[in-house]
Structure 1
Amino acid sequence: MTTDSSSAPADDRSLGVDSEVGRLRTVLLHRPGPELQRLTPRNNDRLLFDGIPWVARAQDEHDAFAEALRARGVEVLHLTGLLTEALAAPAARDEAIRTALAGLHLGTTLRGHLTGFLADASPEELTGHLTAGIRNDEVRGGFGLVTSLLASDDFVVDPLPNLLFTRDSSVWFRDRVAITSLAMPARTRETQLTELIYTHHPRFAGVAALHGWRHEHVEGGDVLLLAPGVVAVGVGERTTPAGAEQLAREVFAAGLAHTVLAVPIAQQRATMHLDTVCTMVDADKIVMYPNVADALQAYAVTPADGPDAAVAADPDGDRLTLRVAEAEPFLVAAAKAMGIDTLHQIDTGLDPVTAEREQWDDGNNTLALAPRVAVAYERNIETNRRLEEAGIEVVRIAGSELGSGRGGPRCMSCPIARDPLPG
């Protein structure tokens, strides 16, 4: 069994990501923990899981995933390890406790008691409370009307089972990190904790941040760095049009991109994020769900005054004028923005039933370790075969339990450092 990694700088690897497929150097994961043991048939829908995972097996599968990354020379950081180290700072502890207890459902009596309870916890204990949650019957004291009327097994602080999917709460654009804003109430505190890590942990001292959890909804699973300077943003169930626009303004103002492709996707569970529909596996190859490929459109967004239109005193780009092009087929718009002739499509399968099954099982949700090397769930046999026929080395991992929250290798990983692509 692996343990949460410490994160003090162990080497001189720089931080930053400018593509989906540059050689992966450092990645942020979250090993499934007690928060998954809090899922029940009564709360799993609200907490966005389609089933009740076998936690021990999910941990074994995740350990194998992390080891597969390490075997390829990837430095693996664990979210709870970083969080525990960040919580050694009093300012981080105060912020974490305040945001965790901000919900209006607690009331003054219970909130006051929990504030003292969490303030007395060690960093390790506080990490556990913030991620696994606190049930009403675990409260010792603070007996007021709220705790009296709640059922004994009701949560006063909800668990965060979706922490497993570290891709959603932050995205790196070159040497800057964008803290996202998650749309579902069950996930709001995830991005608060992620922002706390990037703000207070010494590993990330001096890193400039974009966006933030208080802003328009943008989720990392909807953001693909197709090429240096080219960003695709899915707009659907989780990322809003306003979120895509605000992110575009920020990356343009910071000089981090010249084109943002806004890609409408169906607002349904099977296609909750753009990376459930397609992911990059080479600088000019993308694995894509064929049942939607022909219908997928993109709106190219650029600064009206060109790529150098950023206003130094306007970090959010609010005064930038954006040019929005007419919709084009996604693959056409992407190739134009990337400056290549063709973005080659690898289908999840020609048979529409097989394609639908493997898309549901995250066949399109691959994690590139380098150009033409990708991690994928072993269960997606047809997709993996087609990837290999296209010259992609497939690193297969088990995901029978990890996939119960609807997420694959890309969803479960936030790249923090990748090598630049060759010029």
Structure 2
Amino acid sequence: MDKRKINIYSEIGNLKTVLIHRPGGEIENLIPEYLERLLFDDIPFLKVARQEHDNFAKILKENGVETLYLEKLAAEAVKNPEVKELFLNEVIAECGINEVKTITSLKDYLYSLSDIKMIDKVMAGIRKKEIEIKECYDEYPFIMDPMPNLYFTRDPFACIGSGISLNSMKTKTRRRETIFGKYIFKYHPELKDSGIKLWCDRNDTYNIEGGDELILSKQVIAIGHSERTDKEAVINMAKNIFENGESFKTILIFDIPKTRAFMHLDTVFTMIDYDKFTVHPGIEGTLRVTALTYDYKNRELIAKEETGSLEKILSKYLKKDITLLRCGGGDKVISAREQWNDGSNTLAISPGKVITYERNYVTNEILDKNNIKVIQIPSSELSRGRGGPRCMSMPFNREDLL
């Protein structure tokens, strides 16, 4: 069987292979009183969310992109009975379930399902009544929480260069998501023993999430020091990347506001062409950036602090004049509205060709007027999760830029 390789050295190179997750039962296990705990502001209508996601996948395929599904890869990774036992033990332990009788009931129930249905159920969450524990109306009904954020495949693990960051997620709600990545890369027949490097691990002390990781070129990575990503995690990962002989020469740490509105770096700017970025006007002031390079002779990181506008910093490190296209045209009301629905969160499938949400029509028109080919997708339900096309995709392979 051919082994898959990771190859991500830009944000815009022709997209060849991408990982996505079709929304499942985890969406229908959202209930109003627990939305904040599960990091949602609203409850998407699953039927329509799936239609919208299927359309997203269809557009990717029509543009020559191979689409892999998280749930399918995970099911294939745990086919071996010993691996499946390890997987279930880890999932149950991570849920904080310690009572032996409950663990036995959970395992019996999950083992009764096919591999794909078992994975779907772990993702969807398990109610107490499903393993014959009495549910009281005024008590929390789940013995295993649903994972509704899974359709944002960018965050739990992300490909960088020829390796992956298996991320240590900030919130308890999302930490279990990375278990799927761990088993896929360690045990899937097409990925295990394929020499894929690990830049950071899911149990690392400091937190980092994929939405903060942008691969600007073969030489430059941008990572957000955000609400969800610690600066220490970036420093540790940078050292691993530099010491493993990758082509990257500089890792830029962008210090962005630590609020939900600026959740990740890719919610405030994304790369759409060789010299163009979409940007949330809220970060157009003076930014603090730490530029990390590596002294190979003395085997140590060098950190240089600097301040400047986003345009100035990107132009300096990409060695070209950069154009910033403002979400909503910079209008206070329009940009705030369209930013709420991820107007700056675009997925480039090739240089100057991007997928966006159709509801952000002002921003989309601006992109079009700046010679960006825009493929708009419906998102009335998908956007309720507060993530855009980039959030919903985790590229495995892009063609290198000339």
What TM-score does the superposition give when structure 2 sets the normalisation length? Answer: 0.93
- CA shift for structure 1 position 210: 2.3
Q: Which moved more, 1:181-190 or 1:119-128?
A: 119-128
1:88-167 matches, cutoff 5 A = 88-102=79-93, 103-140=95-132, 154-167=141-154
CA contact under 8 A between 2:219 and 2:250: conserved in structure 1?
Answer: yes
**Which residue of structure 2 aligns with residue 274 of structure 1?**
265
Deviations 1:201-250 (A, max 9, x none): 11213123221110121100001111112111111110111112112112
**Which residue of structure 1 aligns with residue 244 of structure 2?**
254
Deviations 1:308-363 (A, max 9, x none): 4596xxxxxxxx3332333333332232222x132221111131211111111100
**Which residue of structure 2 aligns with residue 75 of structure 1?**
66
Residues 1:214 and 2:214 are matched in the alignment: no
Aligned residue pairs total 396
1:189 to 154, 176, 193: 176
CA contact under 8 A between 1:165 and 1:413: conserved in structure 2?
Answer: yes
Q: Match for 1:209: what amino acid?
A: L
Counterpart Cα distance in 2 of 1:370 and 1:13: 21
**Which residue of structure 2 aligns with residue 345 of structure 1?**
324
Q: Match for 1:200: what amino acid?
A: Y
SS in structure 1 of the partner of residue 190 of structure 2:
helix
Counterpart Cα distance in 2 of 1:154 and 1:253: 47
C-alpha distance 309-93 of structure 1, shift in aligned 2 (>3 A)? farther
Q: Which moved more, 1:328-337 or 1:207-216?
A: 328-337
Q: Which moved more, 1:84-93 or 1:160-169?
A: 84-93
Residues 1:393 and 2:382 are matched in the alignment: no
**Which residue of structure 2 aligns with residue 288 of structure 1?**
279
Residues 1:375 and 2:355 are matched in the alignment: yes
Counterpart Cα distance in 1 of 2:321 and 2:288: 16
Q: Match for 1:264: what amino acid?
A: D
- CA shift for structure 1 position 95: 2.4
Deviations 1:42-83 (A, max 9, x none): 222211111011110000000111101111110011111111
CA contact under 8 A between 2:7 and 2:162: conserved in structure 1?
Answer: yes
Residues 1:239 and 2:239 are matched in the alignment: no
**Which residue of structure 2 aligns with residue 200 of structure 1?**
187
Counterpart Cα distance in 1 of 2:177 and 2:297: 34
CA contact under 8 A between 1:57 and 1:401: conserved in structure 2?
Answer: yes
- Unaligned stretches of 5+ residues in structure 1: 1-7, 312-319
- CA shift for structure 1 position 125: 2.8
CA contact under 8 A between 1:136 and 1:151: conserved in structure 2?
Answer: no
Q: RMSD over aligned Cα, in angstroms?
A: 2.1
Counterpart Cα distance in 1 of 2:335 and 2:393: 24
Deviations 1:139-172 (A, max 9, x none): 14xx6xxx78896762111111111000001211
- Unaligned stretches of 5+ residues in structure 2: none
Counterpart Cα distance in 1 of 2:353 and 2:365: 14
CA contact under 8 A between 1:253 and 1:310: conserved in structure 2?
Answer: no
Counterpart Cα distance in 2 of 1:62 and 1:310: 49
C-alpha distance 356-370 of structure 1, shift in aligned 2 (>3 A)? same
SS in structure 1 of the partner of residue 19 of structure 2:
strand
C-alpha distance 178-309 of structure 1, shift in aligned 2 (>3 A)? farther
Counterpart Cα distance in 1 of 2:9 and 2:78: 30
SS in structure 2 of the partner of residue 100 of structure 1:
helix
Residues 1:168 and 2:147 are matched in the alignment: no
Counterpart Cα distance in 2 of 1:204 and 1:171: 15
CA contact under 8 A between 2:345 and 2:356: conserved in structure 1?
Answer: yes
Q: Match for 1:355: what amino acid?
A: S
CA contact under 8 A between 2:269 and 2:278: conserved in structure 1?
Answer: yes
Counterpart Cα distance in 1 of 2:323 and 2:137: 55
Counterpart Cα distance in 1 of 2:290 and 2:303: 10
2:313 to 333, 349, 355: 333
Q: Percent identity?
A: 36
Counterpart Cα distance in 2 of 1:239 and 1:109: 37
Counterpart Cα distance in 1 of 2:128 and 2:215: 43
Counterpart Cα distance in 1 of 2:161 and 2:226: 25
